[in-house]
């Protein structure tokens, strides 16, 4: 028995370490990216470093989840961890932005395997009465990663080398690999699953078509014009729309779809997914563009941007804890309305920033953003599972993460395109001299390289910094529209609330339908939101 307990502890340690790597890699890059751009160039490809990871991870999640059901959790956890480490090693060797984007995509494939399989193994090795506690423990990993990520990225960038934000995954990954190999002994009983290959492929192609349209729109690449009204861009938008329709049709035809559309008949579930989508957009924009502002406009270092992001992430963690407690007394909608109000205020302030805005004020605005976003993690987890049959729990948790990630992916593409187009247009205005525009405006890395900036006329630096600041502020101005749509989704959630009753403390909904499961629901739902 002691040996069995020891194996379980080692397995949990290995799983938590693997999950930490996957979660950390979504935040550790944010503070390092401006420095990476200053070295590798490719500011126009800035958002793709984030998008490549998000797209491949969200695509691989359901595939690896079902493969692990068919052939074993241990095998595919180790495969996912190996792919993740290979991608990390390759990212550290990248000599250009295109290489880094490709390697991040490989890394994302591995990360997409680690998250769902980790939580599934927890369900396998712990009895139901302990699952809520363990899911809460694993959920804390996300909170820790959201705080440590920006700080770790800043530390390695300023004091070691930016490549170590990827290399650090290798020794930690090896430890996780060894612990799982030695300690985790799974059942040999597996069940057949049907993988929705067509749905996965069509969904991925639809998202890629949309992202390429947004990325290329309004630009000229290698002498080829991609004007917004050109047949190439219009064709990409049409392709994205057609593939989305095909995806919805496919999902109604297959027996085990990536996104079970029948769940959307429940208004609370559908509204929760919509809210998750728009909140995903919000968080990724804050984590992406504020570091760029601090380093490109305020002449800060990666550490400076990390110190601005960290209070926001602490706000996320604090708000998540408070939001989870408030759901015991108030309807989901009420808690989320307070959340979205704070989020709107913080975003409205960020939409007004300029080159003269102090770092202290920006930090305050980011704390407001963090408090606004954080409550969504536990509240949407519980609202999406409200009155849901137990057999749908795994699907619901996956879909919630899916919508948040898709929101991040599409958000970074949409707002990234808006920012780059706005920035390019402003440069043509503030640098009217064609030679000056060609010399400095063609490569905005000069704003991220102090040694280069020192040799540029100060009026040029001031003009470019102001343009960059204005373009980033415009992102948050546009983001207000997405948050308003998120607020509309919240209003549709209705008056449902979490209620506890019975000898087992079973979590029940106040609406009609079957109960949602055991007394561990609250803890379990809180972690699954992440």
495 class by beta-carbon count within 10 Å (0-12 exposed, 13-18 middle, 19+ buried): exposed
Largest CA distance in the chain: 78
How far is the C-alpha of 354 from the C-alpha of 107, rounded, in Å?
Answer: 35
Question: Strand, helix or coil at 509?
Answer: strand
Dig out the tokens for 175 from the structure. 């430890």
Residues in the chain: 530
DSSP conformation class of 261: G
Residue 239 has pLDDT above 90, yes or no: yes
More confident residue, 35 or 331: 331
How far is the C-alpha of 172 from the C-alpha of 14, rounded, in Å?
Answer: 10
How far is the C-alpha of 504 from the C-alpha of 520, rounded, in Å?
Answer: 9
How far is the C-alpha of 228 from the C-alpha of 340, rounded, in Å?
Answer: 33
Rg of the chain taking only CA atoms, in angstroms: 23
Q: pLDDT class for 269, splitting at 50, 70, 90?
A: very high
Dig out the tokens for 287 from the structure. 């984590």
Residue 331 contacts residue 382 (beta carbons within 8 Å): no
Q: pLDDT class for 280, splitting at 50, 70, 90?
A: confident
Phi then psi for residue 368, to 5 deg, are -60, -45
Average pLDDT over residues 362-382: 88
Distance of CA 9 to the CA centre of its chain: 29
Residue 278 has pLDDT above 90, yes or no: yes
Average pLDDT over residues 369-386: 86
Residue 445 confidence (pLDDT): 53
Average pLDDT over residues 317-342: 89
CB atoms within 10 A of CB 8: 15
Does the predicted model carry a pTM greater than 0.85?
no
Residue 113 confidence (pLDDT): 84
Residue 510 confidence (pLDDT): 41
pLDDT digits (tens, 9 = 90+) for 28-87: 887 788 788 878 877 667 778 887 887 788 778 777 877 777 777 888 899 999 999 999
Distance of CA 167 to the CA centre of its chain: 21
363 class by beta-carbon count within 10 Å (0-12 exposed, 13-18 middle, 19+ buried): middle
Q: pLDDT class for 388, splitting at 50, 70, 90?
A: confident
Residue 253 confidence (pLDDT): 86
Average pLDDT over residues 341-357: 93
Residue 428 has pLDDT above 90, yes or no: no
The CATH class of the 262-530 domain is mainly alpha
Q: What is the DSSP string of 219-243?
A: EEETTEEE-TTSHHHHHHHHHHHHH
Q: pLDDT class for 484, splitting at 50, 70, 90?
A: very high
Q: Which residues pair with 500 in a beta bridge?
A: 507
More confident residue, 476 or 214: 476
Residue 447 has pLDDT above 80, yes or no: no
How far is the C-alpha of 67 from the C-alpha of 190, rounded, in Å?
Answer: 10
* Cβ within 8 Å of residue 63, ≥6 positions away: 112, 195, 200
Domain at 1-194: CATH code? 1.20.1250.20
Residue 246 has pLDDT above 90, yes or no: yes
Q: pLDDT class for 513, splitting at 50, 70, 90?
A: very low
Residue 340 confidence (pLDDT): 96
Match 């009465």 to its residue by tokens. 129
How far is the C-alpha of 98 from the C-alpha of 100, rounded, in Å?
Answer: 5
Residue 152 contacts residue 28 (beta carbons within 8 Å): yes
How far is the C-alpha of 495 from the C-alpha of 265, rounded, in Å?
Answer: 17
Question: Strand, helix or coil at 508?
Answer: strand
Comparing 10-19, 76-85, 511-520, the range with the smallest average pLDDT is 511-520
Residue 350 has pLDDT above 80, yes or no: yes
Average pLDDT over residues 446-457: 64
E-strand spans in 217-340? 219-221, 224-226
Residue 343 has pLDDT above 90, yes or no: yes
Question: Strand, helix or coil at 477?
Answer: helix
**Percent of the chain clearing pLDDT 90 (strictly above):** 24
Residue 43 confidence (pLDDT): 67
How far is the C-alpha of 139 from the C-alpha of 117, rounded, in Å?
Answer: 14
More confident residue, 23 or 9: 9
Distance of CA 180 to the CA centre of its chain: 26
* Cβ within 8 Å of residue 295, ≥6 positions away: 34, 35, 301, 302, 304, 305, 448
Average pLDDT, the chain: 79
């Amino acid at each position: 028995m002691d040996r069995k307990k020891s194996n379980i502890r080692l397995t949990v340690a290995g799983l938590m370490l693997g999950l930490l790597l996957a979660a950390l890699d979504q935040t550790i890059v944010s503070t390092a990216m401006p420095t990476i751009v200053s070295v590798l160039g490719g500011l126009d490809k800035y958002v793709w470093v984030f998008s490549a990871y998000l797209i491949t991870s969200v695509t691989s999640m359901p595939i690896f989840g079902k493969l692990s059901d068919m052939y074993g959790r241990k095998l595919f956890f180790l495969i996912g961890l190996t792919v993740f480490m290979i991608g990390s090693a390759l990212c550290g060797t990248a000599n250009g932005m295109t290489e880094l984007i490709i390697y991040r995509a490989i890394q994302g494939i591995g990360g997409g395997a680690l998250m769902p399989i980790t939580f599934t193994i927890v369900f396998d090795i712990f009895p139901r009465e302990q699952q809520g506690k363990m899911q809460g423990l694993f959920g804390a990993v996300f909170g820790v990663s959201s705080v440590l990520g920006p700080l770790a990225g800043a530390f390695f960038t300023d004091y070691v080398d930016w490549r170590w934000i990827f290399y650090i995954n290798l020794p930690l990954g090896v430890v996780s690999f060894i612990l799982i190999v030695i300690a985790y002994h799974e059942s040999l009983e597996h069940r057949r699953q049907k993988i929705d290959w067509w749905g996965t492929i069509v969904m991925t192609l639809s998202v890629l078509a949309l992202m390429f349209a947004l990325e290329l729109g309004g630009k000229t690449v290698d002498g080829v014009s991609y004007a917004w009204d050109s047949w190439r861009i219009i064709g990409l938008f049409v392709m994205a729309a057609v593939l989305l329709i095909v995806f919805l049709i496919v999902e109604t035809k297959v027996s085990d779809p990536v996104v079970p559309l029948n769940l959307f008949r429940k208004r609370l579930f559908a509204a929760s997914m919509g809210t998750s989508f728009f909140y995903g957009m919000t968080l990724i924009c804050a984590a992406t563009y504020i570091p760029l502002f601090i380093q490109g406009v305020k002449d800060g270092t990666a550490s400076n941007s990390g110190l601005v992001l960290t209070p926001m992430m602490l706000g996320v963690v604090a708000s998540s804890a408070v939001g989870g407690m408030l759901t015991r007394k108030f309807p989901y909608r009420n808690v989320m309305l307070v959340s979205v109000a704070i989020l709107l205020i913080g975003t409205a302030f960020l939409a007004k920033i300029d080159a003269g805005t102090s770092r202290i004020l920006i930090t305050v605005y980011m704390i407001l953003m963090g408090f606004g976003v954080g409550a969504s993690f536990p509240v949407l987890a519980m609202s999406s599972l409200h009155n849901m049959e137990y057999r749908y729990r795994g699907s619901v948790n996956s879909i919630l993460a899916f919508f948040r990630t898709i929101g991040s992916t599409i958000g970074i593409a949409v707002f990234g395109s808006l920012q780059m187009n706005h920035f390019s247009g402003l440069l043509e205005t503030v640098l009217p001299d064609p030679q000056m525009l060609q010399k400095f405006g063609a490569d905005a890395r000069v704003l991220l390289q102090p040694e280069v900036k020192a040799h540029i006329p100060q009026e040029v630096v001031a003009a470019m910094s102001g343009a960059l600041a204005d373009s980033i502020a415009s992102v948050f101005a546009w983001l207000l529209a997405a948050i308003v749509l998120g607020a509309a989704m919240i209003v549709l959630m209705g008056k449902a609330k979490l209620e506890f009753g019975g000898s087992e403390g079973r979590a029940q909904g106040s609406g009609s339908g079957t109960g949602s499961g055991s007394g561990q629901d609250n803890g379990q739902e809180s972690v699954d939101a992440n």
